[in-house]
Every structure is written in structure tokens, then in C-alpha cells.
Amino acid sequence: MLKIGVLGLQGSVVEHISMLQRISEVQPIIVKTKKDIESIDALIIPGGESTTIGKLLEDFSLIDLLATRINAGMPVWGTCAGMILLAKKISNHGKTFLNVMDIQVRRNAYGSQLDSFHTTANIPEVSDSPIPLVFIRAPYVEKVWNDVEVLVKVNGKIVACRQKHMLATSFHPELTNDLSFHTYFIEKMVKPRISSLV
Amino acid sequence: MNERYELNKNLAQMLKGGVIMDVVNAEQAQIAEKAGAVAVMALERVPADIRKQGGVARMSDPKLIKEIKAAVSIPVMAKVRIGHFVEAQILEAIGIDYIDESEVLTPADEEFHINKHTFNIPFVCGARNLGEALRRIGEGASMIRTKGEAGTGNVVEAVRHMRTMMSQIRKLQNMPKEELMTAAKEMGAPYDLVVWVAEHGKLPVVNFAAGGIATPADAALMMQLGSEGVFVGSGIFKSGEPEKRARAIVKATTYYNDPNVLAEVSEDLGEAMYSLEISQIDKDNLYAERGW
């Protein structure tokens, strides 16, 4: 069984857990402590408020351990707030959080809740069928560097990208019924990593 | 319309596990954001002051709401009076993130709530029981909170409302289908929503606790009773050390199941807000009775 953690400090935690429960050979775990972080094979950082999750990561001294594990190759996927937490640069925020992925993101880039939207896109790397994308007060990526690969743009803005074992999406696959991104993360990012360790 | 409603329910999902704090100016909003609030409720007077000062409590000055919106990056909510759909039109025009159709303000309509389906902006509404919650959802609310008794620093009513909702949900789950129509009739709730709750064992929207939460322990209590997050009104900025208390309540809401964390964050918080025994409040001043 693969132990897939979902950072459980705040936000759409149970939504990710129930998506993971639909995938075989996966044991989803809510991650709140250092002990939890040490026990997992990969981590999903859910949507929520990045300032809140970031603050709790700092207050409970989880940043260093998490960043160390990610830098050592643990697969990680951030949705929305999670993308902001992974970034090395945040355009409209003074500081960064985990500081691990070579992307520059703009927080809350589309405006207020009235600007939240839903669309679909073809992302050949992830699925053969169009994927529903839900953007809630979402960020987007303004710049990528080094070996970051852009997976999809919506209205000219980068909204999904991957750098080796790190995946970041502006949108929330956990709020839809579509399992494509969760399957992609497990099959293409977690399993190859685990077999390379054996 | 349906897609907009889904997006609005989705925003509430992003707030789960978090604390929404009442603030009366930009400075308090920044303190709340720094302490880890997931959203702020912008208003002129916190419920404790509305209670003390009396008079008609209305929607806040749009200028104040805009100042608070400009000061923070987290979602901003604001209150309108029950049934006052023009106040809601004004808040939608300002472009805030969520409207609270709230019993804390003086009701503008003693029979009807706002038809929230006609708005693009999401609404949260208070409820004391499952029937009330489902009536609000039927009108288009995309998030529910307990009413509690705001501005009292007394959590007893919020506990009553959360326990009532949870117990009614459990009862529906155990009913055979032929009993659901009568259940819907008895609680005055739309039948399709009653059926949904019976099948899923929860509300179709996110459910927070509000009204009287004053300490980290109160917040954790509401979470353990099944709440998905908390609103803290007067409890923070009417206390001795708002910043410290705000941070403590945020931590307690996340680690609500960990007594060691709760013990640690409850220490040395200074004085809690001035509080009230519910039985000592004049019946006309019980806010939870407002709404229909």
C-alpha cells in the first residue's frame, strides 16, 4: 500500500481523501504532525487559505521537515493554496513558505469570489479526455524556470505545471468527480519514485 | 446559475477547518489575517456592542467594507439584515466574497428571507435546527452556520444548535424512505433536500459554528461536535489580548482533537470577553429567535 498524505491543517482535506480512497493500493492519511510527515510516501497539499496553512506550518515547525523531504525527492502535489506554498516566488506576497518549486505565482490572481469560474481543458500528459477545472479565488503561475514543464494554460495563463517530483495546479480536481489528476499523480509520479527506491 | 451555486459552495469548502473573525476596521483585519484567519467578517460593531448600544443594526458603511477588503488578501464577508435584498445588492456591487444574512442585525422582513438564487455572490445563513438550515439552503444559501447567541461569550446555544442539527441528521439517516415526506413536512424543509441529507448523512453545504465562541476550548468543542469550522465574533477583539487569542483559536480549530495542543494554546491568554448568562437576557434581545 502506498501511504499518500493529505496535509490536514485547513481546507479541502476530506475531498482529497475521498478521491484517494477510490484508487486501489492507496492508503490516504491526514497529515498534521512531524510523525505523520515522516511516515508518508507522498503528499498532497490541498486548497484552502495559503496564509492560514502557511502560518500553521510555521507555528508548529513543520516547514523544515517538509521542505527537506520534498527536496530529497518525496512526490508532492499542491492544489491552489498548495501551489502557493510550494513556490519559490510569490508576486504579491512578501515571503514564501516551503520554497521548493521553481515557479513564480500570483495569489488570488483572478479577483474576488465573483470571478471564480469553471472550465474544461485537454491535458494530453494527464488524460485522453477533457478534464473539468474549478478555479476558486485561484492563483496562476507567472513564470517558470529551470526544468519546470508547463502542463496546461487557460486564457494564456499557466495553471498546471510539473518539476520532476513536484506538481502544482491552480485548480481543484478534488472538487470534481474526475480522478485523472489523482491517478496521474499516483501512477506517473509516486509509483515510479517508489520502484526506483526498491 | 447552477454552476455559480457550485462555485459558491466550493468556496465554503476552502474555508473548512478555519476561523472566520469579526473585524471593525482595516487594522483589526490585518491582525486577523496575520493570526491565520481564513476570512474576515467586516462590520461596524461587533455583536457585543450591538447588544449594549441597542437601536437598529444595519449593513455596514460600504466605505468601511472597501477599506477592509483593500487591507487583506483573504476572503471578506459582510452582513445584511434578514430579508433586506437591497443591502445584498449593494454588497454584491462592491464585490466582496460572501454575504451573511444575519440575525445579529435587526431583521428588515419578519416573514421572508432573501431569495438568494437571484444573486451571483454566495450567502451564509444561521440556523438552529435542520429544518431551518434546509429552508435557507432551499432559498439558495451556500453555507450554513449555527446561530448560537451572538455577543454573549456563552457557547451554550451554539452547542444546542449543532447537537440538534447533528441528531436530526442521524435520525433522517435511519428512516425508511416512506417516512421522509412526513419528516419534511414536520420540519418545514424542502423534500428533495431532506432526501439528500438522509442519503448522505450531512448537509449539502459546509456547516460552521457561530455565536458565543470565546475560547480555544469553545472552538475545539464545536469542531468535536461536528462543525467544519468556526466564526468568532466578539470573542477576539473584545478580549484582553486579541492577537494572542486569535492565534490560539486558529490552532485549536486545526488541532481540535489533540488535548496537548489545546492545553498549550489555552495558557495565559489574558481576559476573555465580557460575557452574559442567556437566561438573564431580555427575550426581545435573543438574536437566535430571529429568522423564520
Yes or no, beta carbons of A13 and B95 under 8 Å apart: no
Q: Which residues of B touch A116 (CB under 8 A)?
A: 7-8, 10-11
Say which of B7, B35, B255 has its CB closest to residue A116.
Answer: B7
On the question of pLDDT at B1 being above 60, the answer is: no
Mean model confidence pLDDT for chain B: 96
Provide the grid cell at A38: 515522516
C-alpha span between B14 and A116 (Å, rounded)? 13
Q: Are B133 and B114 in contact (CB under 8 A)?
A: no
Supply the pLDDT for residue A120.
97
Q: Is some CB atom of chain A closer than 8 A to the CB atom of B70?
A: no
Average pLDDT over residues A132-145: 97
Chain A, chain B: beta-carbon pairs less than 8 Å apart: 106
Q: Which residues, 6+ apart, have CB-to-CB distance to A196 below 8 Å?
A: none
Supply the pLDDT for residue B284.
83
Q: Is B1 exposed, middle or buried (0-12, 13-18, 19+ CB in 10 A)?
A: exposed
On the question of pLDDT at B161 being above 90, the answer is: yes
Confidence category of residue A128, pLDDT binned at 50, 70, 90:
very high
On the question of pLDDT at B228 being above 60, the answer is: yes
> For the segment B233-249, what is each residue's pLDDT rounded down to a tens digit?
899 999 999 999 999 99
Average pLDDT over residues B82-100: 97
Cell 477592509: give the residue.
B68
Q: Which of B24-28, B102-106, B272-276 has the lowest mean pLDDT?
A: B272-276
Provide the grid cell at A158: 499557466
Supply the pLDDT for residue B275.
86
The residues facing A166 across adjacent strands are: A76, A163
Average pLDDT over residues B196-205: 98
Mean model confidence pLDDT for chain A: 97
C-alpha span between B238 and B214 (Å, rounded)? 9
* pTM for the model: 0.96
Average pLDDT over residues A41-67: 97
**Continuous segment of H or E residues that includes residue A69:** helix A63-71
**B204 φ, ψ (degrees, to nearest 5):** -75, 0
Yes or no, beta carbons of B251 and A81 under 8 Å apart: no
The residues facing A121 across adjacent strands are: A131
On the question of pLDDT at B107 being above 90, the answer is: yes
SS3 state of residue B33 = helix
Supply the pLDDT for residue B273.
87
Q: Are B84 and B106 in contact (CB under 8 A)?
A: no
Yes or no, beta carbons of B14 and A55 under 8 Å apart: no
On the question of pLDDT at A44 being above 80, the answer is: yes
Q: Which residue of B has its CA nearest to A55?
A: B36
Yes or no, beta carbons of A175 and B13 under 8 Å apart: yes
Cell 447533528: give the residue.
B166
Q: Is some CB atom of chain A closer than 8 A to the CB atom of B286?
A: no
C-alpha span between A104 and A144 (Å, rounded)? 6
C-alpha span between A74 and A64 (Å, rounded)? 14
Measured between CA atoms, how close is B282 to chain A, in angstroms? 38
Average pLDDT over residues A180-196: 95
Dihedral sign (CA B282, B287, B289, B292): positive
Q: How far is CA A102 from CA A7, A88, A90, A150, in A?
A: 21, 6, 11, 12
CA B222 to chain centre: 12
Q: Are A43 and A31 in contact (CB under 8 A)?
A: yes
C-alpha span between B210 and A36 (Å, rounded)? 31
Q: Is A3 exposed, middle or buried (0-12, 13-18, 19+ CB in 10 A)?
A: middle
Say which of A15, A116, A118 has its CB closest to residue B11.
Answer: A116
Average pLDDT over residues B280-288: 88
Average pLDDT over residues A45-53: 97
On the question of pLDDT at A48 being above 90, the answer is: yes
A33-52 residues touching B, CB cutoff 8 A: 47-49, 51-52
Q: Which residues of A touch B38 (CB under 8 A)?
A: 10, 48-49, 52
Supply the pLDDT for residue A66.
98
Q: Is A161 a catalytic residue?
A: no
Supply the pLDDT for residue B2.
84
Supply the pLDDT for residue A93.
85
Domains of chain A by start residue, with CATH: 2-197 (3.40.50.880)
Supply the pLDDT for residue A92.
87
Supply the pLDDT for residue A94.
82
Annotated catalytic residue: which of A15, A161, A165, A174? A174
Say which of A9, A60, A111 has its CB closest to residue B17.
Answer: A9
> For the segment A157-177, what is each residue's pLDDT rounded down to a tens digit?
999 999 999 999 999 999 999
User: Which residue type does A80 have?
Assistant: C
Yes or no, beta carbons of A134 and B254 under 8 Å apart: no
Average pLDDT over residues B144-159: 95
On the question of pLDDT at B80 being above 60, the answer is: yes
Active site members of B: 79
**Between B48 and A178, residue with greater pLDDT:** A178
Using alpha carbons, select from A23, A26, A25 the residue that is nearest to residue A173.
A23
Q: Are A36 and A3 in contact (CB under 8 A)?
A: no
SS3 state of residue B129 = coil
Confidence category of residue B91, pLDDT binned at 50, 70, 90:
very high
Supply the pLDDT for residue B54.
87
On the question of pLDDT at B153 being above 60, the answer is: yes
Q: Is some CB atom of chain B closer than 8 A to the CB atom of A177?
A: no
Q: Are A119 and A133 in contact (CB under 8 A)?
A: yes
Confidence category of residue B7, pLDDT binned at 50, 70, 90:
very high
Confidence category of residue B34, pLDDT binned at 50, 70, 90:
very high
On the question of pLDDT at B8 being above 90, the answer is: yes
The residues facing B19 across adjacent strands are: B230
Q: Is A172 a catalytic residue?
A: yes
Measured between CA atoms, how close is B15 to chain A, in angstroms? 6
Q: Is some CB atom of chain B closer than 8 A to the CB atom of A61?
A: no
SS3 state of residue B186 = helix
Confidence category of residue B285, pLDDT binned at 50, 70, 90:
confident
Provide the grid cell at B261: 495542543
Supply the pLDDT for residue A31.
98
On the question of pLDDT at A51 being above 80, the answer is: yes
